[in-house]
Amino acid sequence: MTLLAVERIKLFSTRSPWWCMALALGLMVGFAGLVSASASNPGQVSVPVSQFGFSFALAVILVLATLSVTTEYRFNTIKTTFQAVPSRTSALLAKTIVVAFTAGVLGLVAAFGSLGIASLIQPNADMALNSEADWRQIAGTGLVTLFAAVVAVSVGILIRQTAGAVSILLAYSLVAENLVQLIPSVGADIHKWLPFNVAYRFLTGNPERAVDFQGPGSSTSTLPPWAALAYFAGFSVVMLVIAIVVAKRRDA
């Protein structure tokens, strides 16, 4: 608990996390507002459509989580941290938990905020959450951002440099996974199992159909949604374990 308090103080006593959070929230809610305001009739606006800006918010959340680690390396406060808490596993785990929890709450607020603004602008659109899939799409956002933050923190620990870690994460999650599909014959099969693609399956997948949703956030994974989340969570935990093992071996 003590260590969580330490990481909470560290995270919120500088300005950049606040900017990132405001930006993530603004982007997602802003896109929801834009999309619903430009719809010609209420029928074009739905629960999934309100989540149009999610991938942008996710990108910002990845940056936020990465910065929480790389700035510590950049300014050498990681050394002070390990000096105060010599157990690197505990120190890094506490940081991961605080950052992931923050990202989770942020994702949740952004998703509900987007839903809210969309139904405000299009009061006649069907924005009711009346299926498990609807709830999963909105409330599940928090779970995806939570585990995505774990991935970002891990990459931050491994790479240690802001520019490198952020470019790797954004290039991978926004571009590389999709490019894999272009590989002849096996590309599509590999893509099915790539973590961010699978994570989208949890949000947008409908258990009645193998692949249903088209549009932003669509996924080619065929896993049942909760299995997709477990897969993504497992991936994030593996990344974290690798990062902590490496951090323990390296000089601070």
Q: How many other β-carbons are positioned within 10 Å of the β-carbon of residue 19? A: 13
| 249 binds another protein, rule: CB under 8 A | yes
CA distance 38 to 248: 52
Q: Angle, to 10 degrees, between the axis of helix 225-249 and the axis of helix 132-159?
A: 10
Name the minimum Å distance from CB 80 to another protein. Answer: 5
| 93 binds another protein, rule: CB under 8 A | no
| 252 binds another protein, rule: CB under 8 A | yes
| 38 three-class SS | coil
Binding mask 8-47 for another protein (x = CB under 8 A): -xx--xxxx-------------------------------
| 84 binds another protein, rule: CB under 8 A | yes
Cβ nearer to another protein, comparing 208 with 251: 251
Among 30, 42, 55, 82, binds another protein (CB under 8 A): 82
Name the burial class of residue 140, with classes exposed (0-12), middle (13-18) and buried (19+) by CB atoms within 10 angstroms of its CB: buried
| 89 binds another protein, rule: CB under 8 A | no
List helix spans (H) across the chain: 2-12, 16-37, 47-50, 54-74, 77-84, 88-121, 132-159, 162-170, 177-180, 187-192, 195-204, 225-249
CA distance 6 to 81: 9
| 124 binds another protein, rule: CB under 8 A | no
The answer to whether 7 and 94 have CB atoms below 8 angstroms apart is yes
Return the range that interacts with another protein (CB under 8 A); candidates 22-30, 68-76, 163-171, 189-197.
68-76
Return the range that interacts with another protein (CB under 8 A); candidates 41-49, 58-66, 218-226, 244-252.
244-252
Cβ nearer to another protein, comparing 71 with 222: 71
For another protein, the binding residues (CB under 8 A) are: 2-3, 5-6, 9-10, 13-16, 71-72, 75-77, 79-87, 249, 251-252
